[in-house]
């Protein structure tokens, strides 16, 4: 049965009153991730906004056990948990490694790649707020070109974004998917599916961040939806090598693949305020090219 807002489990594993900022979509994503795992998980997480959300001992807002791991070691720490659970014969728990883009694309990539290559049986989720947000918005390799950040304060970032999902797909994993906090049912379904698969599963979850991207905190879901409708974010999954678009991306492709103008996504965000018309045109062209490639891969023709 398809999950809807009416039949999704009412069980909560993320309690209200956590320490994230108002309008934080990481909180929204994490709530649905833990629901999809039915709370039957051990989490390992490096320093990030998520450690702040978890809270400081003896206080916590999360009803699952959690290991706070050093920045570079999330993949290695997950491998240790998997070995420990195997040694004590526990088969009922999912090991969830979850880290930000700084902790994944940059600092944790070596341990993640190693664990994936060894086919460690765990789920890795990168939540991507496109910067080192917990320490005040320094640029990461996932910060988009043109975006202002604490370390690119004048002209914005110059280099392109690293495509971590493509890198992880190249490890020939049994399950790789993208998702967005602002499409929570799609996220929920994907985590649920990933939970039932053996081996390394990787998910990239887009999480709009109001203070870092400088938009009004009441607009989080609007920004997340615009990201998909403009093609900035594409929702898909690759299961045993088979690619398919999902949720809103799939419906858009079915209707011929028309995108909303990218400027509708960029302009409400102060971090993009210095973009020139020429830069926006280039970004629009890049987004369209990428979207058409995804459509073609899923067997759709652009009209
Ligand atoms: C080895 C190490 N270097 C730096 C830090 C400081 N630090 C803590 S959280 C953080 C930012 C993490 O960014 P990201 O992984 O993108 O997660 P986010 O904060 O955006 O949730 C940094 C740099 C640290 N804790 N350990
Ligand atoms: S900085 Fe961004 S990701 Fe971090 S808690 Fe605040 S809104 Fe959430």
What is the reported pLDDT for 260? 98
What is the reported pLDDT for 11? 96
Give this prediction's pTM: 0.98
On whether residue 281 sits in a domain, the answer given is yes
CA angle 201, 203, 205 (to 5 degrees): 165
Give 216 Cα–ligand 1 centroid separation in angstroms: 24
On whether residue 168 sits in a domain, the answer given is yes
Give 179 Cα–ligand 2 centroid separation in angstroms: 18
Using CA atoms, how far residue 208 sits from 28, 29, 195, in Å, is 11, 10, 25
On whether residue 1 sits in a domain, the answer given is no
What is the reported pLDDT for 280? 97
H, E, C per residue of 108-143: CHHHHHHHHHCCCCCEEEEEECCCECCCCCECCCCC
On whether residue 112 sits in a domain, the answer given is yes
Q: Is 212 near ligand 1, meaning CB less than 6 Å away?
A: no
Q: Is 132 near ligand 1, meaning CB less than 6 Å away?
A: yes
Residues 284 and 275: their CA atoms lie apart, in Å, by 12
Tally of domains within the chain: 1
What residue numbers bound the domain in which 59 lies?
25-297
On whether residue 8 sits in a domain, the answer given is no
What is the reported pLDDT for 1? 79
Largest Cα–Cα separation, the chain: 60
Q: Is 129 near ligand 1, meaning CB less than 6 Å away?
A: yes
Q: Give the CB-side neighbour count of residue 141, counting CA atoms within 13 A.
A: 10
On whether residue 3 sits in a domain, the answer given is no
Residues 232 and 255: their CA atoms lie apart, in Å, by 18
Q: What secondary structure letter does DSSP report for 217?
A: G
Q: Is 263 near ligand 2, meaning CB less than 6 Å away?
A: no
User: Going by DSSP bridges, is the β-strand pair 201-206/94-99 parallel, antiparallel, or unpaired?
Assistant: unpaired
Buried b (16+ CB within 10 A) or exposed e, 108-123: bbebbbebbeeebbbb
What is the reported pLDDT for 199? 98
Give 184 Cα–ligand 2 centroid separation in angstroms: 17
Q: Is 96 near ligand 1, meaning CB less than 6 Å away?
A: no
On whether residue 95 sits in a domain, the answer given is yes
Query: What CATH code is carried by the domain that includes residue 84?
Result: 3.40.50.970
Residues 203 and 200: their CA atoms lie apart, in Å, by 10
Q: Is 14 near ligand 2, meaning CB less than 6 Å away?
A: no
On whether residue 136 sits in a domain, the answer given is yes
What is the reported pLDDT for 25? 98
What is the reported pLDDT for 212? 98
Nearest ligand, CA of residue 131?
Answer: 1
Please say whether the dihedral angle defined by the alpha carbons of residues 44, 128, 131 and 108, taken in this order, is positive or negative: positive
What is the reported pLDDT for 302? 76
CB 212 within 8 A of CB 60: no
**SS3 (DSSP) at 201:** strand
What is the reported pLDDT for 277? 96
Hey, which bits of the chain come out as E strands? 41-46, 66-69, 94-99, 123-128, 175-180, 201-206, 236-239, 242-245
Ligand 1: atom nearest CA of 104 is: 15
What is the reported pLDDT for 56? 87
Q: Is 243 near ligand 1, meaning CB less than 6 Å away?
A: no
Q: What stretches in the chain show pLDDT beneath 70? A: none
């Amino acid at each position: 049965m398809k999950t809807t807002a009416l039949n999704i489990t009412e069980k909560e594993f993320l309690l209200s009153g956590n320490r994230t900022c108002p309008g934080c979509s990481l909180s929204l994503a994490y709530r649905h991730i833990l629901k999809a795992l039915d709370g039957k998980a051990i989490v390992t997480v490096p320093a990030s906004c998520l450690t702040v959300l978890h809270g400081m001992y003896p206080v916590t807002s999360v009803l699952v056990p959690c290991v706070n791991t050093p920045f570079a070691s999330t993949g290695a720490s997950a491998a240790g948990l998997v070995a420990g659970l195997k040694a004590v014969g526990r088969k009922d728990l999912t090991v969830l490694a979850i880290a930000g883009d700084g902790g994944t694309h940059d600092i944790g990539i070596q341990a993640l790649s190693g664990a994936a290559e060894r086919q460690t049986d765990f789920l890795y989720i990168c939540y991507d707020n496109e910067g080192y947000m917990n320490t005040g918005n320094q640029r990461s390799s996932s910060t988009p070109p043109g975006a202002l950040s604490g370390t690119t304060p004048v002209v914005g970032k110059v280099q392109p974004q690293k495509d971590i999902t493509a890198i992880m797909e190249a490890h020939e994993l049994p399950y790789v998917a993208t998702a967005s906090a602002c499409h929570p049912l799609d996220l929920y379904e994907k985590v649920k599916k990933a939970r039932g698969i053996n081996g390394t599963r990787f998910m990239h979850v887009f999480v709009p961040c109001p203070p870092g991207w400088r938009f009004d905190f009441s607009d989080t879901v609007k920004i997340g939806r615009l990201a998909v409708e403009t093609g900035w974010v594409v929702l898909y999954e690759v299961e045993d090598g088979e690619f398919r678009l999902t949720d809103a991306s799939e419906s858009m492709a079915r209707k011929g693949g028309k995108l909303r103008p990218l400027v509708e996504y960029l302009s409400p965000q102060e971090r993009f305020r210095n973009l020139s018309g020429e830069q926006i045109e280039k970004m629009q062209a890049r987004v369209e090219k990428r979207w058409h490639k995804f459509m073609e891969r899923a067997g759709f023709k652009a009209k």
